[in-house]
Every structure is written in structure tokens, then in C-alpha cells.
Amino acid sequence: MADYRKPLPQPTPETKPFWDGTKSGELRLQRCQSCSHVYFPPRPFCPECASRSVEWFKASGKGTLHSYVINHRPAPGFDAPYAIAIVMLAEGVKMMTNMVGVEQTPEALKLDMPVEVTFEQATEDITLPKWRPVGGAA
Amino acid sequence: MKPGSVAVVGAAETTQMGVIPDMSVIQLHADAALNTLKDCGLTPKDIDGVATAGESPVAISHYLGIKPTWVDGTSVGGCSFMLHVRHAAAAINEGLCSTVLITHGESGRSRIGAGGWGAAAASLAGQFEAPYGTSGPPSSFTIPVLRYMKDYGVTEEQLAMVAVVQREWAGRNPRASFRDPITVEDVLNSRIIAYPFHLLECCLVTDGGGALIMTSADRAKDFPTKPIYIIGTGESVESPMVSQMYDFHHSTAFQISGKKAFAEAGITPKDVDHLMVYDAFAHLPWYGLEGLGFCKPGEGPAFIAEGNTRPGGKLPLNTNGGGLSYMHSGMYGMYALQESVRQLRGTAPAQVPGAKISVAQGVGGMFAAAGTIIMANERP
């Protein structure tokens, strides 16, 4: 872990509950208590109706592979090629991620395949949500 | 704005284009500005409004010796110059200034006097995108396209055709970086950058600049250049992160910006003779054609692949060769505007015969922002 060389997120007061969640193995989203809208990324008000009455909840951790690219020009710390993926969560929000437990090829990465969250500890403070095909590699 | 109330009277690019290792960013702005002043017979002392992106309008004003009464530093990426044109039109009509200089310069290739890239770790993109290995526009701007291609049944060959057609235009432009004809096979055999995008489906990275001078339509007739009237304008913004754009099938910002511009101009896509769509990557023209209403959703790829936008086609598109073959400094929007002006002046290397109305559609960031400018060479 000490030699983690990839870019790391720096949580802010508004996003800290999300990162506290991943650290404890929980994917958290926010829901508006006024209009029930579920949204991401985190903010302490509803982007749909502007209500400040919002709550955190544990997401299902299920979704589908919505889109991706397979990057051949690696960012610092990454070994190319690797997929940068977008998951459509069951709750209806999109999230960027990396796919794990699956070959990083167009043949293996089928759009709309069911995926589930898994957690990858990067440092003592930061754990990243990653996603994998449900039931192992496709 | 009132259609036709303001005109572009000066337009020029940097003296050189492509690789310019002997000029810093601010000098690229200045070189383009001096060429543009000369184009319409003005000096910096005649300018009382300055707009720019990348550099600050303070730096540009002082560097050129301009003491303005109005500035605009709107910086929303490569379409910032479309927004500057729009804001300048409003400022001129409101009497805040009379003669506006809009400048762009970027040392995209040589990086002389240029700043760095990357998102701060505490920004939303730094927290929710960068940790997953985005490495600049080639691996982020491209992310929506597999979704689009699957749902609309688009092939990789159709994506390649965008690059092939634009190279046909570039072949007619002596200043274009790449002019040799290419085939679909050439594109698909070029190096993979970020699947499904190959090298030839990604824009160039070059050095260059451009500038525009605008004034009221009433004053424009006193200039030596043919006035090009601004008849419709639009702008909007969407998301600072491509992963959070509202729908991967279309750019909401394009739709809002385009709708506003066409309504203002009182025209429909059928009235347009010439179109520029900022093409940082080969899928951008699809989103532009559909977002502006030239094609129905999902029909952009076939429209291009069938030859409608190539030389001799019914809708000439990206006639300078575009970001894919002409040049791309980083904020390409200025070059789309320059080509619209050239086409309407009748001075383009690949001139569209009789072009009267041109649309320039810009994008900023990775589908983060949009600007639309509609020009005409006759006052409505």
C-alpha cells in the first residue's frame, strides 16, 4: 500500500461520508427526503429540488456496465491497457470506475452486463469502489 | 441579441500554424491579434473591449497596450470563443464598448510558456474520475461513445469515416497539418489510443492562434473587409465530469445552445450552407449534427458515412479539415469561427460556392460546455 502510485482522491467535507463508507466496505449514495431523488456525486442538497433535507443510504452495490474505453496511454501508476468504465447503478446514477476480475478486452467487457461493487484499499485512508462482473468473469 | 446588429470585421490566425517552437502562448495570442488588426486596418488603440480564454484578459490587454472599457474572461474550454462572440455582441449593443478583440493562442505541441494539466485531488473530477486512470481528453471525452454506438447500431467503420471525410477537406487546405488521403482501413489500422478510438480518430496537438474583431453592423460598413454578421448565438454548460453528463446519447448543452441560436436567427437547419462542429474526436460531429437538429438521434453516423458532408455533399462540414486534420491547439473553437468567416467572405481554401449562412458549434471540456454562433454575409 505504501507504494500506491495512482492518483488519489482528497475528500472534502461534503464527500467525506462517501469515502468513510468505502473504507468500511459500504457504497453510499444520497437521497432527497423531500422529492426522493437519488444522486451522485455527493453534495449536501438535492440537485433536483434544492432541498437541504437529504440522507445517506447504503446502495445496493448492483449495476450494469454502461460504457467504457480501454486506455492505451496510461495515467501515472497504471499499466496499459486498462478499461475506464462507467457503471449505471441500480439506483439510476452513473459512476466512473475500473473493472476488476475480468479481462480488459472488448470481448470480455460486454455493455449492459450485470456488475457488482467491490472495494480496493489504496492507502490507510482511501478505499476505492471498483466493479466486477456478477458471478465472476463473463 | 438582435440578428445582424453586430458584425465580425477582422479575422485572422497566427502567421504560422502547426509547430511553432519560437513563440510562447501569450505571443501566439498577440501574433494572431496583430494579424487581425491589420486585416481590418486598426491598431490596438482602436480596441476598447477584450475577451480571451486560457490567458487572462488583463494579460492580453496589457501585452498589446489596450486600455479597455469592457473585458470578458469566460473560460469554459474550447468553445469559450463562441461565448465571447455572444457576450461581445451583447456588450456592443449595450454600449459597454464599441470594438472588441477576441484572442486565442496556445502552444499545445511545443508547450512554450504553457501551464499544466490535471484536476486537483479535492475537485469532484479529482475524487471521482482521476483515481480510475483518466489520462486527458483521449480517455475521457471518448467514454460515452460505446453506449451511443451500441444503442444506435453504429459500426467502427462509421466512426473511421468521420476522419476519412475530414481528411478529404484537409487535402484542399494548404495550411492543414495532414493532407494525404486516408481510407477506413488506414484509420482502423492506426494505433489504438483508447478503444474504440484509433490515433486518426483523435485530434492533432499543435501550436497556433486566432483572433476576431467585432463592432456594430452600422460601423462595419466603414471597414475594408466584407462584414460578416452575427445572426444567432447560444451557449450552455452541462457537467465538469464526462461521467456525469446527463445522457451519453446526446449533449444537453449542444441542444440548449443550438436551439437558442437557431431561434434567435429565425432559421432552421435547412437554411444552413456550411457547418463547423468542433471535432476533438471523431464522434463529435455526430453529436453536433444531432444536437443542432441536422439529423435525428442516431442518424449522424450514416449521414457522414454516406458522404453528405464531404466535398460536393449537401452539407459541407469542417471544411478546414477540422481538429482531426487541420490543427488542434487545445481550445479549437477559434479555428471553427475563423473558417466560418473565411467561407462567408469567400476566401476559404476549400470554398463552398455561394455560402451565405454558416454555423459554428463549439464544445468545451469533455461535453462540459457548448457555444453556437450563426453568421451570415448579408444583413438580415
- Catalytic residue flag (residue B326): yes
- For A37-87, the pLDDT digits (tens) are 999 999 999 999 999 999 999 999 999 999 999 999 999 999 999 999 999
Does A95 contact B241 at a Cβ distance shorter than 8 Å?
Answer: no
Flag whether residue A45 sits within 8 Å of chain B, measured between CB atoms. Answer: no
Flag whether residue A69 sits within 8 Å of chain B, measured between CB atoms. Answer: yes
Share of chain B above pLDDT 70, in %: 99
From B121, B124, B135, residue closest to A73, measured CB to CB: B135
| Cα nearest neighbour of A82 on chain B | B133
Flag whether residue B138 sits within 8 Å of chain A, measured between CB atoms. Answer: yes
Give the pLDDT score at B304. 98
Q: Average pLDDT of B182-197?
A: 98
Q: Which of B229, B287, B326, B332 is catalytic?
A: B326
Give the pLDDT score at A38. 98
CA distance A86 to B245: 11
Strand B49-52 with A28-32, pairing: unpaired
Residue B58 in any domain: the answer is: yes
Q: Which of B148, B229, B278, B287 is catalytic?
A: B278
Does B130 contact A12 at a Cβ distance shorter than 8 Å?
Answer: no
User: How many of the other CB atoms lie within 10 Å of CB of A79?
Assistant: 8
Flag whether residue B147 sits within 8 Å of chain A, measured between CB atoms. Answer: yes
Q: Average pLDDT of B342-349?
A: 98
What is the DSSP secondary-structure string of B170-219?
Answer: HTT-TT-S--S---HHHHHHSPEEEETEEGGGB----EEEEEEEEEEHHH
How far CA A17 is from CA of A30, A46, B276, in Å, comes to 10, 16, 45
Flag whether residue B243 sits within 8 Å of chain A, measured between CB atoms. Answer: yes
- Residue corresponding to grid cell 498589446: B64
- For B118-133, the pLDDT digits (tens) are 678 888 899 999 999 9
The answer for residues whose C-beta is within 8 angstroms of residue A36's C-beta and 6 or more apart is none
From B131, B142, B147, residue closest to A66, measured CB to CB: B147
Q: What is the least distance, in Å, from the CA of B10 to any CA of chain A?
A: 40
- For residues B105 and B217, the answer to whether their CB atoms sit within 8 Å is no
Residue B191 in any domain: the answer is: no
Flag whether residue A94 sits within 8 Å of chain B, measured between CB atoms. Answer: yes
Residue A137 has pLDDT above 90, yes or no: no
Residue B183 in any domain: the answer is: no
Q: What is the least distance, in Å, from the CA of B281 to any CA of chain A?
A: 13
Residue B174 in any domain: the answer is: no
Does B128 contact A84 at a Cβ distance shorter than 8 Å?
Answer: no
CA distance B329 to B78: 9
Flag whether residue B135 sits within 8 Å of chain A, measured between CB atoms. Answer: yes
Q: What is the ipTM of this complex?
A: 0.91
Structural domain for B75, as ranges: 6-112+204-376
Give the pLDDT score at A82. 98
Give A-chain residues touching B133 at CB under 8 angstroms: 6-7, 71, 74-75, 78, 82, 84, 98
Mutate to test the interface with A, among B129, B134, B139 (most CBs of A within 10 A): B139
Confidence class of residue A138 from pLDDT cuts 50, 70 and 90? very low
* Whether domain A60-138 has CATH 2.40.50: yes
CATH at residue B255: 3.40.47.10
Q: What is the least distance, in Å, from the CA of B344 to any CA of chain A?
A: 39
Residue A1 has pLDDT above 60, yes or no: no
Flag whether residue B247 sits within 8 Å of chain A, measured between CB atoms. Answer: no
- For B248-264, the pLDDT digits (tens) are 999 999 999 999 999 99
Give the pLDDT score at B117. 61
Q: Average pLDDT of B337-364?
A: 98
Give B-chain residues touching A87 at CB under 8 angstroms: none
| Helix residue ranges per DSSP H, B40-94 | 57-64, 80-94
- For B137-184, the pLDDT digits (tens) are 999 999 999 999 999 999 999 999 999 999 999 999 999 999 999 999
Residue B72 in any domain: the answer is: yes
Q: Average pLDDT of B351-371?
A: 97
CA distance B380 to B375: 10
| Cα nearest neighbour of A6 on chain B | B131
Domain count, chain B: 1
What is the distance, to the nearest Å, from the Cα of residue B56 to the centroid of all Cα atoms in its chain? 19
Flag whether residue A47 sits within 8 Å of chain B, measured between CB atoms. Answer: no
Instruction: Take residue B248 and report the three cell numbers written for it.
Output: 451519453
- Residue corresponding to grid cell 473560460: B75
Q: What is the least distance, in Å, from the CA of B236 to any CA of chain A?
A: 17
Share of chain B above pLDDT 90, in %: 93
> ∠ at Cα B315 (B173, B187), nearest 5°?
60
SS3 A64: strand
**Average pLDDT over all residues of chain B:** 96
Amino acid sitting at position B115: G
User: How many of the other CB atoms lie within 10 Å of CB of B24?
Assistant: 16
Among B101-115, B308-322, B330-344, which stretch is predicted with the lowest mean pLDDT? B101-115
A with B: how many residue pairs have Cβ under 8 Å apart? 119
- Residue corresponding to grid cell 475521457: B140
